[in-house]
Amino acid sequence: MGMIFFCSPIVSIFTDRIGCRTTAASGAAIAFIGLLSSSFTKSLEVRYFTYGILFGCGSSFAFQPSLVILGHYFKRRLGLANGIVAGGSCLISVPLPFFLKMVGKAIGLAHTFQVLSALMLIQIFLSLTYRPILPPSCDSQHDGQDKLGSRSMRQQCWSQTRKYFNLRVFRRKTYRIWAFGIATAVLGYLVPYMNLVKYVEKRFQETKKDWILLVCLGAMSGLGRLVSGRIGDCIPGLKKIYLQVASFVLLGLLCMMIPQCQGFEGVIVICLFLGLCDGFFTTIMAPIAFELVGPMQASQAIGYLMGLMAVPMTAGTPIAGYLNDYFGNYDAAFYFAGVPPIIGGLVLSVVPLVHQRMLKKQRLDSGKDKMLVSEAVVNGELLPGCPASEAHM
C-alpha cells in the first residue's frame, strides 16, 4: 500500500508526458511481472522486492491514470463516474478474501500468485481503452522549444526539471491546506483494516465469523462510493470537501468506539459505518482535486497528494502494532487511530472558508486593476494524460 501511494508523484509525471493509456498499461505489465515472479520464490526477503516493491509500484502506475482519464470524458457528472469506477473495485474486494482462501488451500501459494498475475495481464489490455479525446495545441510546444534554444545548458536543465516536476499546485494555499489535512488524517486510516480481525479473535474468541467484518467493510465501501459520487455532483464547488470532513471525523469517532464494544455484533455495526466513511473519502478525492487546481494540473495534484499520504499511511499500522505489544491489547491502537482523522477533518473544514476569502480578495483586486496577467501553464496546454502522441489516435 505504501508503494502505491509513494510512487504517485512520479506516476503523475509519466501520465502527463506519455499519457494515461501507456502509463497504465506499463504499470499493469510491471505488476504482472511482480506477481508472477513472486510465485517462483519462497524467500520472504525476495518477496519484499517482487511483491512489495515491484507489484506495488506497478499497481501505482496502473491505478492513478484510471482517476485522471475520467476528466477527459466527464465534467458535470465526474463525481458519479468516479463513484461507479471506484465502487466497481468493491465487487471484487468483497469476494476476493474467500476466493484467495479457497484457491490457496487447493493449489498452494505459488499457483495463487500465478492466478492473480493473470488478472493483471487482463488489466494491460483494459488499459488500452484509456483514449484521450481532447486535441492538443502544438504551437506552444514549438514556441517552448525555440525559447530553450536561446538558453544556456544550465537554464535548459532547470527549465526541463520544472517542466516535469511541476510544483505550481503548491502555490495554491487551498491545495496546501487540503493536502496537509488529508496526510494528517490517514495516519490512522489503515489501523482498523489491519487489526480488526485479530482484535475480534483476541477479544471475543471469534474465529469462524470474522470474515463478516471484511464483507461489511467492502460492501459498505462500495455503497458509499456510489452514493458519495452522486451527492458530490449535487454539491457546488469546494463545498464537496465537507463530505470528506464528515467522513474523517466520523471515522475517527468510530475507531475510538471499537474498544467500547461489548459484543461481536457491535463491531459489525461499526464496520458498516467504517466502510461507508471509506467510500465517501475515496470517491470525492479526485473531483475535489479538479475543483482546487483545475483539469490542467489535476494529475500532478492527485499524484503529490497521494505521495504525501504514503508515509503517514504506512507508518500508522506499525505504530499501532507497537502500542499493542506495549500495552498487551488493541485498545490504545484504536484510540490512537481515531485522533488523526478528527484532526485532519477539522483542518479540511478550513479550505472552503479560505477559498471564499481568496475569491473576495480577487474580486477587489480586479475592480482596482482589470489588467490581469494570465499565468502560463507549465504542463502545456494538454489535459493531463493527453500527450501529443496519443491525441491523434
- Maximal CA-CA distance, the chain: 74
What does the pLDDT average to over 225-252? 86
Which H or E element spans position 154? Answer: helix 153-164
Which of 242, 289, 240, 227 lies closest to 83, judged by CA?
Answer: 227
Tell how many helices (H) and how many strands (E) occur in the chain. 18, 0
Residue type at 115 in one-letter notation: V
| DSSP state at residue 206 | -
Residue with cell 473576495: 360
- List, for residues 277-324, the tens digit of each pLDDT value: 888 888 888 888 888 887 777 778 888 888 889 889 889 889 999 998
- Please, is 246 exposed, middle or buried when counting C-beta atoms within 10 Å of its C-beta (0-12, 13-18, 19+)? middle
Q: How far apart are CA 157 and CA 148, in angstroms?
A: 9
CA 210 to chain centre: 27
84 and 233 in contact (C-beta within 8 Å)?
Answer: no
Query: What is the pLDDT at residue 99?
Result: 85
- List, for residues 201-220, the tens digit of each pLDDT value: 888 876 677 778 888 888 88
Grid cell at residue 310: 504514503
Residue 178: partners with Cβ closer than 8 Å, 6 or more residues away: 241, 288, 292, 305, 348, 351
- In sign, the C-alpha dihedral spanning 269, 325, 55, 386 is positive
Q: How far apart are CA 59 and CA 299, in angstroms?
A: 16
Q: How far apart are CA 114 and CA 36, in angstroms?
A: 5
Percent of the chain clearing pLDDT 90 (strictly above): 27
Name the pTM for this structure: 0.76
117 and 36 in contact (C-beta within 8 Å)?
Answer: yes
Residue with cell 504482472: 32
Percent of the chain clearing pLDDT 70 (strictly above): 84
Of 66-80, 133-147, 192-206, 238-252, the one with minimum mean pLDDT is: 133-147
Kindly calculate the radius of gyration of the chain based on its CA atoms and give it in whole angstroms: 22
What does the pLDDT average to over 87-99? 78
Query: What is the pLDDT at residue 252?
Result: 93
Residue with cell 483494459: 126
Helix residue ranges, H only, 167-210: 173-185, 191-204
Residue with cell 463516474: 81
Distances (CA, A) of 43 to 35, 110, 117: 14, 12, 19
Q: Rounded to the nearest 5 degrees, what angle is found at the Cα of 387, between the Cα atoms of 55 and 86?
A: 45
End-to-end CA distance of the chain: 33
Q: How far apart are CA 80 and CA 74, in angstroms?
A: 9
Q: How far apart are CA 292 and CA 286, in angstroms?
A: 10
Query: What is the pLDDT at residue 377?
Result: 43
Residue with cell 517462483: 40
Name the more confident of 207 and 77. Answer: 77
Q: What are φ and ψ of residue 195, in 5° steps?
A: -120, -10
What does the pLDDT average to over 99-120? 90
Query: What is the pLDDT at residue 138?
Result: 43
- List, for residues 129-179, the tens digit of each pLDDT value: 888 775 543 444 444 454 545 566 666 666 666 666 667 788 888 889 999
CB neighbourhood size of 392 (10 A): 8
Q: How far apart are CA 347 and CA 252, in angstroms?
A: 14
Grid cell at residue 242: 465537507
Residue type at 158 in one-letter notation: W
145 three-state secondary structure: helix
- What is the 3-state secondary structure of 212-230? HHHHHHHHHHHHHHHHHHH
Q: How far apart are CA 60 and CA 64, in angstroms?
A: 6
